[in-house]
Amino acid sequence: MKTICLICFIASSFVLASCQWGVPKKAAEAEPDTLAYTYKSVHERAADCGNKPDSGCTVVKIKYPVFAGQKKLNDSVVRKLTSLFAMNGKPDSSIDLMTKNFLKSYTDFKKTDPRSAMYFDLDMYATVLVQDSSLASLGVGGYTFQGGAHGASATFFINWDTKANKSITMDDLFKPGYHDQLTAIAEKLFRKSEKLSDTASLARDYFFKDNKFALNDNFSVTPTGLKFVYNQYEIKPYAAGITALVIPYSPIKSLLRPNTVVAKYTK
């Protein structure tokens, strides 16, 4: 009887093991989110909206994550949102105050021209793009119209070191003296993406200072590389929209510091 039980136990062990072998490697190695968060939404309409739909009146819509027990990160998200389309160049101190001031700016505008059918728009978001045991990467962006010929849109990023509880800069990722080599690698990728030769001038179609290619610091850490985004008017005319440039880790691996949040992606 003992022998039969032992055989059954071994057989069942092989069955369980085979189930584990059948789990896809990617799923088995996936890292869960390490910071708990919930999304908060703001939806405010101007006093004269009445029964009009959101698409036909002044509305403020904002959606962003609030991380449990992470004041510094939450403050960073709020600062990025309130800076996105700051009126008069000065960010408000909170989402609520920004919303109130935006709606007030519309009310003030209507007082100057009460017959105008023009309405304002503020639609912003912050969303979690990547999160693992050491990194939280967020996209922050949106669209606004506050009168004029056209609206404005923008996309920015927050890369957060969850262990150090701080924002990640380029200097955190790269070894000292990286700038020129990184720029040269990035320019080759940029010219390829824009279908430009190695010697084509950047003077006619781009707004780079002194007509020389340059990287900005608006980047997102992704599993496949560093994604840089140039917003409208930054290097091209408004109609061209945003320009994205992804630099894979392979050509810049020697420039990266060891043991940073991207180390897991460069193995």
Q: Which has the higher per-residue pLDDT, 88 or 141?
A: 141
Q: Any residues with CB less than 8 A from the CB of 147 and at least 6 apart, and which?
A: 109, 118, 120
User: What order do you get walking across the sheet with 225-230 strand by strand?
Assistant: 219-221, 225-230, 243-248
Q: Could you report the per-residue pLDDT of 184-228, keeping only the tens digit for each?
A: 999 999 999 999 999 999 999 999 999 999 999 999 999 999 999
Confidence at residue 9, expressed as pLDDT on a 0 to 100 scale: 38
Residue with tokens 């698409």: 55
Kind and range of the H or E run holding 9? helix 2-21
C-alpha to C-alpha distance for 242 and 63, rounded to whole angstroms: 21
Q: Could you report the per-residue pLDDT of 105-137, keeping only the tens digit for each?
A: 999 999 999 889 999 999 999 999 999 889 999
Confidence at residue 32, expressed as pLDDT on a 0 to 100 scale: 55
Evaluated on CA atoms 13, 16, 22, 28, the torsion sign reads negative
Kind and range of the H or E run holding 126? strand 121-131
How many percent of the chain have pLDDT more than 70? 88
Q: Could you report the per-residue pLDDT of 15-26, keeping only the tens digit for each?
A: 333 333 333 334
Q: Could you report the per-residue pLDDT of 70-107, keeping only the tens digit for each?
A: 999 999 999 999 999 997 788 999 999 999 999 999 99
Q: Categorise residue 18: left if φ over 0, alpha if ψ from -120 to 50, beta otherwise.
A: alpha
Q: Tell me the C-alpha to C-alpha distance, in Å, between residue 161 and each of 116, 164, 172, 215, 265.
A: 48, 5, 10, 22, 15
Q: Any residues with CB less than 8 A from the CB of 214 and at least 6 apart, and which?
A: 183, 208
User: What order do you get walking across the sheet with 166-167 strand by strand?
Assistant: 37-45, 59-67, 121-131, 135-145, 152-161, 166-167
Q: Tell me the three state secondary structure of residue 45.
A: strand
**Residue 57: other Cβ atoms inside 10 A:** 18
C-alpha to C-alpha distance for 150 and 144, rounded to whole angstroms: 9
Confidence at residue 158, expressed as pLDDT on a 0 to 100 scale: 98
* Length of the chain counted residue by residue: 267
Structural domains for the chain: 37-167 (3.30.565.40), 170-265 (3.90.640.20)
